[in-house]
Chains A and B, each alone.
Chain A
């Protein structure tokens, strides 16, 4: 199988606080992996490192043949249009409307006409059920709505890999199902993803493989089946936490 992302011996400290102490894993083409772990174990920091938003202390991060951790900001542009990060809190630009937020990457990175951009934006907003809110400002949206717009924005460029940072947290059950079905659709089209979540049932449903981050390392890396049948008490505490 083709490797898309490969992380080798990644370590990361904030001042004296060690967040990662040797993280290793690989994301293959076409698969979606779930990244689990207690709050504060460094899941968001890990995703941010994967697109060069966070400088790492040592180790190697590859996207295809690009060595992410050594690329400079201008060189990362190409990677970031292919590997897209959907922020935990949405991180919408609050000075422009919902529509303009989703249109932003299209204006920056495509040669589409304004008409084409408009129809593309409406299509993506339709996916996340936010068409009616297109002219609202982010501050007029609820947290869950902001998150869905953020997801839409990160999908605008048809990235090859999507890094979902708790995309379903704080959503109502209907919208959780909606987001999961979008992720599934995305997967069916052959794209890959890393799904950070505390929602174990959702992760089991969507993911081919599950990882658990614990004490700065990947504590478990295996198929959903192995995860469920594991006798390790720590893994059990996860798999039974429904």
Chain B
């Protein structure tokens, strides 16, 4: 039983690596579908902006409230901007944004490709002498890898703004002081690291979503199952791999 499960998962890893290899191969061989990439960036990336803004802002506000009242007891209100901004930039923004994108984009991609698969449209792409990886996977994966770091950064920025609003209204912290603390505490490498994490999560989400879409059989029910599978798997992978990525980034940049 356990042996079967391990074997199944190893096979899965093998097949996903194969898809990744084909994806990379398509990156440096013709034809390139720039129009399709642009379409996907608009569809996947731009479509996620409003919700990213809201989540980012609210996260910053809640964090500032919690740390503000928590640290006030010990006279530590002064440290709130540094703590809040660093935890948002380094952890909360990339994680929350990625989980959100896993739900929104990941399930969308797998359902779309899955539906194309059960209606033989994937076969039609092949039958017409074109490659489903090139036509469908490359634009979606690239669009997610490009969009997610930008969304994550946007979310972090909104979090800092949200923190500022609460720091000013609830704790009467001067705006200049808050901004100054942010500028001295948040380093460029924090933002770069955060974007790197987002790009990695974007790759995981979109690649798994495409993979699962191609595996979809069993008609309409299969399409729904594929979406669920992608959200559960990618969310788990994001949270676990975040630990290791964080460890690596801390080792590299302190």
Contact = CB atoms under 8 A, between A and B. Distances in A.
Interface residues of B, number: 14
- Where chain A touches its partner, the secondary structure class is helix
B120 to A, nearest CB: 4
Contacts of B130: 77, 108
A109 B129 CA distance: 8
Contact of A89 (B120, B127, B131): B120
Interface in A149-163: 153-154
Contacts of A196: none
A109 B123 CA distance: 17
A85 B126 CA distance: 10
Contacts of B120: 87, 89, 91
A53 interface: yes
B124 interface: yes
Contact of B119 (A74, A78, A89, A154): A89
A48 B129 contact: no
A80 B128 contact: yes
Nearest to B123: A53
B179 to A, nearest CB: 46
Interface in B189-210: none
Interface in A105-162: 105, 108-109, 153-154
A158 B119 CA distance: 25
A89 B116 CA distance: 13
B79 to A, nearest CB: 52
A151 B121 CA distance: 14
Interface in B85-142: 116, 119-121, 123-131
A154 B129 CA distance: 11
Contact of B123 (A73, A74, A87, A92): A87
Contacts of B121: 91-94
A104 interface: yes
A51 to B, nearest CB: 6
Contacts of A80: 126-129
A91 B129 contact: no
B218 to A, nearest CB: 14
Nearest to B130: A108
Given A91-B119, A91-B121, A85 B127 contact: yes
B131 to A, nearest CB: 7
A105 B135 CA distance: 13
Contact of A81 (B123, B125, B129): B129
A76 B124 CA distance: 14
A53 B130 CA distance: 12
Interface string A59-86: 0000000000000011011101100110
18 contacts: A51-B127, A53-B126, A53-B127, A73-B126, A74-B131, A77-B129, A77-B130, A80-B128, A87-B120, A87-B123, A91-B121, A91-B123, A91-B124, A93-B124, A104-B128, A108-B31, A108-B128, A108-B130
Interface of B: 31, 116, 119-121, 123-131
Given A53-B126, A80-B129, A108-B128, 11 more contacts: A53-B127, A73-B131, A74-B131, A76-B126, A87-B123, A91-B123, A91-B127, A94-B119, A94-B121, A104-B128, A153-B128
